[in-house]
Structure 1
């Protein structure tokens, strides 16, 4: 797994450098996918760099990516890379710094390696299953808290706003119970921020496997509690890719947070 990790970090940093250059030079175009989701040509360039570099090192491996057709759906029996070439595209297109490249490696429905790289802040979160979680080579752990009112909680909102009433109801229930709330615009970074203690919890109702695959492993290896707050979460997905009604938090406030989120459903 050491070679897997090294190649994932290398590919993430190469793609990160390129998307930085593209933004500095305004060398990308924007368009909408599915009528409401922002995509840029930088997403596609990043995707191509990552796949090209990883394919050089591991020519037999398969890919699941936000920006390309799925080769075998979400079946992960063979060695497979799960990629989000730009997590936080809206932030990227608006000169924000909370933008990430997420790369996970999985086999037999288990993520073994996760890398989340923020090229604008030069921060690389990573983990190998069973080996702990790290930020720029320094081991990280969740912040120990035992009351929800001590906590800063992260969340995100979907591109499609059809379910806005439930989102607002969830916020109405949770805001009085916590210290504050944050919205970074990159769920992979939100989850990694729980892992390193900058946030004490994160929730979001509907994400995608590439949003969570690497970050959930990093958080778990940093001793975070990782789970779901809806019985409707998609059991057809492997656990490592289950992206519905996600909660990631410091362990001692997980159940309290889950009760509030479940009440909003």
Structure 2
């Protein structure tokens, strides 16, 4: 008796998630070293995106080329989605979601809070994620169901504080009209929490939540490459993530917080209109 043929619509078998993690770690390490060690003194802007503030440097492009070339060489049947334009559908059921420099403006100005973010999806779900922050000397990673780690040590989010003692991070869009509304949301939120931080890298903010350095984080306007790896790392460290009540993180709003704070913060942000411009 022979096995029945697999339906053409079925997903290919899942690869070992640890194998995907190892590739992401190596790709992030190589890209991080390139960005850290070969940043030109006269680093220039190669292109602008949504506004003159939202920039791409030649190093973003070089890092994405390095990452996608490395991954394609090792797993040529995988799909890739990159912030700087890499896009291939793939046939393996695996897709890599790549942000070569999360926090490009920080990188442009020589500030340390930038990162390389690489996530592996299988059948549409993120199963492995790596965020490397070379100027911090830290690498964060997670595999679905396996916990979160920073430099190989387990990472855990903080116990939930009362709302008025919560340290919350956020980010602002590059489009003026959107930024203005986000500033108004932040103005109304500040009296309700301990304080607000604005770091400039969504991936690092989510990893700081995972490591107990923040109690919550929210931002409107993120793309898949901004949050794929960091969202998995935060959740594997014990945090909760979502959008508006009942919805997963998306471009309208990403909310992440320690359990016990997540629901009240999510409801407050919904009340303040953080999900629209």
Fold shared by both chains (TM-score > 0.5): yes
RMSD: 1.9
Q: Give 1:218's aligned residue.
A: 233
- TM-score of the superposed pair, with normalisation by structure 2: 0.87
- TM-score of the superposed pair, with normalisation by structure 1: 0.91
Asked if 1:101 corresponds to 2:116, the answer is yes
Is the Cα contact below 8 Å between 2:168 and 2:217 reproduced in 1?
A: yes
Is the Cα contact below 8 Å between 2:131 and 2:141 reproduced in 1?
A: yes
Deviation at 1:166, TM superposition (A): 2.0
**Gaps spanning 5+ residues in structure 2: where?**
1-16
Q: Give 2:32's aligned residue.
A: 16
Matches within 5 A, 1:53-202: 53-72=70-89, 78-202=93-217
Asked if 1:44 corresponds to 2:61, the answer is yes
Deviation at 1:163, TM superposition (A): 2.0
Asked if 1:254 corresponds to 2:262, the answer is yes
Is the Cα contact below 8 Å between 2:245 and 2:267 reproduced in 1?
A: no
Is the Cα contact below 8 Å between 2:50 and 2:175 reproduced in 1?
A: no
Is the Cα contact below 8 Å between 2:78 and 2:92 reproduced in 1?
A: no
Q: Matches of 1:220 and 1:243 in 2, distance apart?
A: 18
From the CA coordinates, give the structure whose radius of gyration is larger: 2
Q: Matched residue of 1:251: which SS?
A: coil
Deviation at 1:159, TM superposition (A): 1.0
Q: Matches of 1:16 and 1:132 in 2, distance apart?
A: 23
Q: Matches of 2:151 and 2:70 in 1, distance apart?
A: 21
**Gaps spanning 5+ residues in structure 1: where?**
234-238
Q: How many correspondences in the alignment?
A: 255
Is the Cα contact below 8 Å between 1:76 and 1:107 reproduced in 2?
A: no
Deviating more after overlay: 255-264 vs 93-102: 255-264
Q: Give 2:253's aligned residue.
A: 245
Deviation at 1:7, TM superposition (A): 1.3
- Which aligned segments of 4 or more residues in structure 1 are displaced greater than 6 angstroms? none
Q: Matched residue of 2:63: which SS?
A: helix
Q: Matches of 1:221 and 1:61 in 2, distance apart?
A: 24
